[in-house]
């Protein structure tokens, strides 16, 4: 059985392959503004700095290189935010893994713009730490979801410089996420109160969305990326509300 699973995994990896025109491997850094509202920790909204590191791989599949591509993104982001009175700070640290498969339509608009869309899945988890709150100083975040992604891209030139313009949106549809009861401490959870911690996430109680728009500048074998990313995470459950937003400049380079 183990040998069969190994063969199946190897066949899947080989089928993804690296054939085709899409060939992106980039390290990125994001820097910008973040807004955090987590009613488990505080009833007010905090604002401050958003920083993130990421790695993205995008390839055409071997089984249908002209029709399908796959994309993998791994990243970690850190927010340092403060209240309006400037007497308290929150630290948010999150990590995530996103994978998707997209059906391509090359030259779908005016024979220049390529479109693609398909299913995606994401696992995202981390913590928020409150410097002042002594009773419940930490809020744990964890969710897994499935949804859809869509992308539009166009290969063009800036004078003699070849570049690819791109817009992409990730939109989770349904998933599972962690949230304690209102005013429930993590010490109570540690003692065994595990009731009502996992929740079905859907657009009725949770809405997440990530937008990216930018340009990849092709300098020989090196690619430079300049772009903008916006992330929204919003959910309400157990009389708790979370509403986090970030707007960041994206810089990237292929190695």
Closest CA to 47 of 58, 68, 66, 33: 33
Q: Is the pLDDT of residue 20 over 60?
A: no
Rounded Cα gap, residues 142 and 122, in angstroms:
11
Region 182-202 average pLDDT: 91
pLDDT category of residue 22 using cuts at 50, 70 and 90 = low
CB 248 within 8 A of CB 31: yes
Q: Is the pLDDT of residue 6 over 50?
A: no
- φ/ψ (deg, to 5) at 52: -150, 150
Fold adopted by 2-253:
Lipocalin (2.40.128)
- φ/ψ (deg, to 5) at 94: -135, 150
Taking only the tens place, the pLDDT of each residue in 132-170 is: 887 789 999 999 999 999 999 999 998 889 999 999 999
Q: Which two tokens stand for residue 91?
A: 């630290």
Q: Which two tokens stand for residue 166?
A: 């791109």
Rounded Cα gap, residues 226 and 230, in angstroms:
14
pTM here is 0.87
Residue 188: DSSP 8-state: H
Q: CA-CA distances (angstroms) from residue 143 to 94, 151, 169, 199?
A: 11, 24, 19, 9
More confident residue, 250 or 64: 250
pLDDT category of residue 232 using cuts at 50, 70 and 90 = very high
Ranges of each domain in the chain? 2-253
């Amino acid at each position: 059985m183990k040998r069969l699973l190994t063969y199946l995994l190897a066949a899947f990896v080989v089928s993804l392959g690296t054939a085709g025109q899409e060939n992106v491997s980039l390290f990125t850094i994001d820097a910008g503004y973040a807004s955090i509202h987590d009613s488990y920790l505080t009833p007010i909204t905090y604002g401050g700095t958003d920083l993130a590191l990421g790695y993205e791989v995008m390839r055409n599949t071997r089984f249908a290189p002209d029709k399908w591509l796959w994309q993998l993104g791994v990243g970690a982001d850190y927010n340092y935010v403060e209240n309006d009175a400037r007497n308290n700070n929150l630290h948010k640290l999150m990590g995530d893994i996103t994978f998707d498969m997209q059906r391509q339509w090359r030259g779908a608009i005016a024979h220049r713009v390529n479109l693609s869309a398909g299913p995606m899945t994401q696992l995202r988890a981390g913590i928020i730490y409150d410097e002042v709150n002594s009773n419940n100083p930490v809020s744990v975040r964890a969710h897994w979801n499935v949804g859809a992604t869509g992308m539009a891209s166009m290969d063009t030139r800036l004078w003699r410089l070849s570049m690819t313009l791109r817009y992409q949106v990730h939109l989770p549809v349904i998933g599972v996420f962690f949230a304690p009861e209102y005013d429930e401490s993590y010490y109570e959870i540690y003692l065994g109160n595990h009731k009502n911690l996992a929740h079905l996430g859907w657009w009725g109680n949770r809405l997440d969305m990530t937008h990216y728009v930018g340009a990849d500048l092709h300098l020989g074998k090196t690619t430079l990326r300049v772009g903008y990313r916006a992330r929204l995470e919003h959910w309400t459950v157990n009389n708790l509300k979370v509403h986090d937003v970030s707007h960041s400049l994206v810089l990237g380079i292929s190695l």
